């Protein structure tokens, strides 16, 4: 999908308005879904005139793709922050999973939007996970070299770990009113470290 991209505003006021529209789009698209969400809904939620939207974005497609990209950056930077204190890869796995489940709890609309991207903007969806997967594989490869984890295919493991985190986020965070993130992280971490073998 080729999406026309609009130049970013140069003034502080312009940047603030653009950010407000983006935040409103996250809320509205996250709640209603991409197809049902209208630009009028978004500008209403952003409390701006509907024409203002087109100063900053060419259409819903552009705003959606930027949301998906933003989410990728936000999730990666939050994970990186929490992982920074870890002294080895297994500790980093625990911290990264906790960070991810916290993002799912605090910004549930993000989860939905990224998943909806599979249908709305498959290219952005694939890029989102591919970037994640590449960086993750590289970390696992280095950790195996240092002997912090056992040897094994880094890419298969990276995607397995991403999938596991995603589904735990859906089942134990999105679908539950009272989430005990720490408990889920501890249980999952013990599986991640030691597997199922008796």
The binding site for its own copies (CB under 8 A) comprises 33, 35, 89-90, 93, 115-116, 118-119, 126, 129, 133, 140, 147-150, 152-153, 156-157, 159-168, 170-172, 175, 184, 187-188, 190-198
Q: Which is nearer to its own copies, 32 or 44 (CB)?
A: 32
Closest to 165 measured CA to CA, from 86, 87, 78 = 78
CB 56 within 8 A of CB 21: yes
Tally Cβ neighbours within 10 Å of residue 107.
Answer: 17
The least distance separating its own copies from the CB of residue 148, rounded to whole angstroms, comes to 7
Closest CA to 173 of 82, 64, 100, 120: 100
Least CB distance to its own copies at residue 63 (A): 18
Answer whether 100's CB lies under 8 Å from 112's CB.
no
Instruction: Select 73 or 146, whichever has its Cβ closest to its own copies.
Output: 146
**Cβ 181 to its own copies shortest distance, Å:** 12
Q: State which residue, 46 or 168, has the beta carbon closest to its own copies.
A: 168
**If you count DSSP H runs as helices and E runs as strands, how many of each does the chain have, helices first?**
9, 0
Q: Which is nearer to its own copies, 16 or 146 (CB)?
A: 146
CB 67 to its own copies: min, Å = 16
Backbone angles phi and psi of 8, in degrees to 5: -75, 145
């Amino acid at each position: 999908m080729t999406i026309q991209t609009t130049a970013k505003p140069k003034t502080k006021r312009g940047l603030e308005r653009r950010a407000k529209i983006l935040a409103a789009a996250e809320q509205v698209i996250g709640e209603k879904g991409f197809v049902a969400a209208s630009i009028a809904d978004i500008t209403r939620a952003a409390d701006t005139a509907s024409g203002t939207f087109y100063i900053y974005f060419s259409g819903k497609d552009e705003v959606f793709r930027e949301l998906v990209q933003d989410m990728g950056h936000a999730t990666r930077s939050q994970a990186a922050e929490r992982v920074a204190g870890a002294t080895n890869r297994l500790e980093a796995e625990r911290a990264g999973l906790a960070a991810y489940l916290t993002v799912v709890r605090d910004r549930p609309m993000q989860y939905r939007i990224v998943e909806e991207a599979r249908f709305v903007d498959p290219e952005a969806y694939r890029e989102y996970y591919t970037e994640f997967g590449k960086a993750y594989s590289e970390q696992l490869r280095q950790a195996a070299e240092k002997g912090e984890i056992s040897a094994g295919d880094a890419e298969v493991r990276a995607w397995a770990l991403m999938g596991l985190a995603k589904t735990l986020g859906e089942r134990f965070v999105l679908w539950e009113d009272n989430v005990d993130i720490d408990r889920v992280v501890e249980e999952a971490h013990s599986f991640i470290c030691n597997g199922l073998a008796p």
